[in-house]
Amino acid sequence: MLIKIEDVTKTYSTRNGPIRALDPLSLDIKQNEFVSIVGPSGCGKSTLMMMLSGLVSHSTGRISIAGKPINGPYTDIGIVFQQDTLLEWRTVIRNVLLQAELRKLDMVKYTERARHLLEIVGLKDFENMYPHELSGGMRQRASICRALLHNPPLLLMDEPFGALDALTRDQLNVDLMRFWRESPTTVLFITHSVSEAVFLSDRVVIMSARPGRIEDVVDINLPRPRRLAIRETPQFLEYSRRIGRVFESSGILRED
């Protein structure tokens, strides 16, 4: 077992008193598993991810990665934050290479890899631009490249494709799938799109509204490699419907 999350809760203390973001939550993630989290806005998805990375502390419970308890920033990791965090004073490629710089990796080798990744996400001609010269979606794509640069054994992605149009989103879904097949890694993927979650994942975790709990976990037994066309198959639609029914039965989604 790679990741163990046991009875973890989170209470933020704010000016207006404590805010309970997560109720006790337990989840295990296997090595090289692709797990998606879906749930209503504000239910604590980002909080869960930040606690897993050790950047934000959990209030109670235990989190461990490969047997090691998480008590501070965990660095063997690649993170795509919900808001792209590009450094405005660095060009696109130097933003991506920041990862290699701080980890003291071979710059020549990783410059080549950075170029390759930028080409995959369609930013080949923009490597020498500054972030302010890019669109929101392009900025997010650059930060995805930065998270992937060092082939991290654990990849955390917080709504990485949220800012993209449907076409680019599909393309990047396909690219991410290919990347993940070629260099397997454990992925925790947060999204608002049920169909994106089903398409990408081995398992989809459905969370309830704040304070977040795990409402249900759905195993996705679709064959891999998956092509976009799989989204029209009855099995795929059945999975989407099942997740939708969980939202309805738990009151997350109400029609009247």
Partner 1 sequence: MTQAKELALPQMRATPSTWRRWLAQAETPYALISGLAFFLTWQVAVDAFDFPAYLLPSPLAVLKDLVLSWDLLLSETAVTLFEIVLGFIVSVAIAMPLAILFTYSRTFERLVYPIIVGTQTIPKVAVAPLFLVWFGFGLLPKIIIVTLITFFPIVINAVVGLKSLNMQTVYLAQSMGASPLQVFWRFRLPNALPSVFAGLKVAIVLAVIGAIVAEFVGADSGLGYLIIVAATDQNVTRQFSAILILSVAGILLFGLIGLLERQLLPWHSSVRRDALVDS
43 touches, from partner 1, ligand ATP, Mg ion, none (C-beta below 5 to 8 Å by class):
ligand ATP
3-state secondary structure of 5: strand
In the bound state with partner 1, the residue whose beta carbon lies nearer, of 75 and 151, is: 75
Among 26, 60, 85, 235, binds partner 1 (CB under 8 A): 85
Mention every residue, 6+ apart, whose C-beta is less than 8 A from residue 162.
82, 140, 191, 192
124 touches, from ligand ATP, Mg ion, partner 1, none (C-beta below 5 to 8 Å by class):
partner 1
- Identify the residue whose tokens are 């149009």: 165
Question: How far is the C-alpha of 34 from the C-alpha of 209, rounded, in Å?
Answer: 23
One-letter amino acid at 59 equals S
In the bound state with partner 1, the residue whose beta carbon lies nearer, of 50 and 177, is: 50
Q: Is 46 an interacting residue with respect to Mg ion (CB under 5 A)?
A: yes
Contact range with ligand ATP by CB under 6 A, out of 14-22, 70-78, 101-109, 245-253: 14-22
Pick out residues in 24-53 that bind ligand ATP (CB under 6 A): 39, 41-47
Contact range with partner 1 by CB under 8 A, out of 6-14, 96-104, 200-208, 232-240: 96-104
Neighbouring-strand partners of residue 170 = none
Contact 49/63 with Cβ under 8 angstroms?
no
* Per-residue buried b or exposed e for 49-85, using 16+ beta carbons within 10 Å of the residue's own CB: bbbbbbbbebeebebebeeeebeeebeebbbbbbebe
41 touches, from partner 1, Mg ion, ligand ATP, none (C-beta below 5 to 8 Å by class):
ligand ATP
Q: Is 252 an interacting residue with respect to ligand ATP (CB under 6 A)?
A: no
Q: Is 232 an interacting residue with respect to partner 1 (CB under 8 A)?
A: no
16 touches, from ligand ATP, Mg ion, partner 1, none (C-beta below 5 to 8 Å by class):
none
In the chain, which ranges are continuous DSSP H helix?
Answer: 45-52, 92-102, 107-120, 136-148, 166-182, 194-200, 234-249
**Residue 11 burial (C-beta neighbours within 10 Å; 0-12, 13-18, 19+):** middle
19 touches, from Mg ion, partner 1, ligand ATP, none (C-beta below 5 to 8 Å by class):
ligand ATP
Kindly state the smallest distance separating residue 153's Cβ from partner 1, in Å: 13
Give me the helix-helix angle, 107-120 and 136-148, nearest 10°.
Answer: 140
Neighbouring-strand partners of residue 217 = 205
Among 1, 7, 19, 69, binds ligand ATP (CB under 6 A): 19
Residues at the site binding partner 1, with contacts judged by CB under 8 A: 50, 53, 55, 73-75, 77, 79, 81, 83, 85, 87-90, 98-99, 101-103, 120-126, 130-133, 135, 138, 141, 165, 167-168, 171-172, 175
Residues that bind ligand ATP (CB under 6 A): 12, 14, 19, 21, 39, 41-47, 82, 210
